[in-house]
């Protein structure tokens, strides 16, 4: 019951965003989905290429560093674009 009361209270307090705020949110969501899709596609493409070529094994440490760099670049791009369009 407490959850339903919290939901009802949230709906009473919430208001529709104006057009500018809605468009900014939509832009950020679209950008995030696009970036995640692009990163996933790049990983898929790299994995397919590595399966067809006899490549040396990559250690887990190197993979972890590469993933951390990709995550940092993606986060930096999102934060930069968010500050630019806010």
Judged on CB neighbours under 10 Å (0-12, 13-18, 19+), 32 is middle
Residue ranges covered by each domain of the chain: 18-85
Tokens 């900014």 belong to: 24
Whether 77 contacts 36, CB under 8 Å:
no
Q: How confident is the model at residue 55 (pLDDT cuts 50, 70, 90)?
A: low
- How much is the pLDDT for 72? 97
The structure's pTM equals 0.47
- Residue 72, both tokens: 């940092």
């Amino acid at each position: 019951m407490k959850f339903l009361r919290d939901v009802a209270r949230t709906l009473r307090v919430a208001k529709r965003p104006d057009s500018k705020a809605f468009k900014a949110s939509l832009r950020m969501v679209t950008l995030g989905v696009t970036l995640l899709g692009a990163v996933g596609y790049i990983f898929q493409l790299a994995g397919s290429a590595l399966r067809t070529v006899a490549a040396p094994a990559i250690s887990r440490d190197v993979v972890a560093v590469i993933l951390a760099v990709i995550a940092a670049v993606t986060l930096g791009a999102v934060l930069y674009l968010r500050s630019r369009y806010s």
